[in-house]
Amino acid sequence: MNAPLLEVWDLCAFYGRAQVLFDLTFRLHAGEVMALVGRNGAGKTTTLKAIMGLVSASARQATFKGQSLGRLPTYKIARLGLGYVPEDRRIFTDLTVAENLETGRRPASAGRSPWTPERLFRLFPNLAEMSGRRGSQMSGGEQQMLAIARTLMGNPDAILLDEPSEGIAPVIVQMMAEAIRAMKAEGVAVLLSEQNWAFAAGISDRACVIERGEIRFQGSMAELMANEALRADTLGV
Ligand SMILES: Nc1ncnc2c1ncn2[C@@H]1O[C@H](COP(=O)(O)OP(=O)(O)OP(=O)(O)O)[C@@H](O)[C@H]1O
């Protein structure tokens, strides 16, 4: 297999003096979808925040495209090509869909065709129908799609998605799954944190099960699907 895009060794994270992640080691390869799954409070969100430099964390090594993330501020990590869509979907509610997309525009790396609103509207057809609508007039699911689309406008090689299916209508969850599959087909790697097991299982190549801040399982999604005892114990599904 090629060199990993994102590599994290022995990642630990803290809120004040409380340690919440313990020596997490994993890799994300180009063009794959990996799900971080686990119960409420297991540490999924914190893992994504720690990668982006948003919580106090340490790792023996954390690299993206071979470059150390060690002391980089969040905006520089994003500029290396690692997109991040937090749980609370930071879109500009006063701006329209089209304007929101423009705020995310950054050049593509050499040899890659840049994302444009037209290409994104093929991925998220419902956004195409509302390109003149303000963010404040969109449902939570539509805002979530816009947040992802805006991040893609920055032409990332990989994207971290925090609970993309949370609190959104089942029909939009279905669209989201299709959009993530299409992103993967376009070569964007995805690391997602998810509580919705059916959603994660339907779109992910690999899975990492987190329990109380530690990795309990790491392997293919097919392996995890087959391991009923582990799923019942760690995920309750
Ligand atoms: N800002 C914070 N300050 C202190 N502790 C926190 C903070 N945010 C999260 N925690 C704690 O860190 C642990 C991991 O939380 P985290 O949000 O990463 O879990 P999660 O797996 O993403 O769960 P959820 O699905 O509920 O978001 C939990 O015990 C949580 O209570």
Cα(211) to centroid(ligand 1), Å: 12
Residue 88 near residue 129, CB atoms below 8 Å: no
Residue 159 near residue 126, CB atoms below 8 Å: no
Residue type, 117: P
Q: Where are the alpha helices (DSSP H) in the chain?
A: 44-51, 74-79, 97-103, 117-123, 125-128, 140-152, 170-185, 197-203, 221-226, 228-234
Residue of 20, 24, 40, 161 to mutate, ligand 1, most atoms within 8 A of C-beta: 20
Residue nearest to atom 12 of ligand 1 (CA): 20
Predicted confidence at residue 89, as pLDDT, reads 79
Q: What are the C-alpha distances in Å from 83 to residues 70, 121, 188, 195, 221?
A: 17, 19, 10, 20, 23
Residues 6+ apart with CB under 8 A from 40: 195
| pLDDT tens per residue, range 142-195 | 999 999 999 999 999 999 999 999 989 999 999 999 999 999 999 999 999 999
- The percentage of the chain sitting over the pLDDT mark of 90, rounded to a whole number, equals 92
Distance CA 184, CA 136 (A): 29
Distance CA 90, CA 52 (A): 15
Cα(86) to centroid(ligand 1), Å: 13
Residues 6+ apart with CB under 8 A from 1: 29
The pTM for the full model equals 0.96
Q: Is the pLDDT of residue 88 over 90?
A: no
Q: Is the pLDDT of residue 65 over 70?
A: yes
**What is the ipTM for the molecules in this complex?**
0.96
Domains annotated on the chain, with CATH: 6-234 (3.40.50.300)
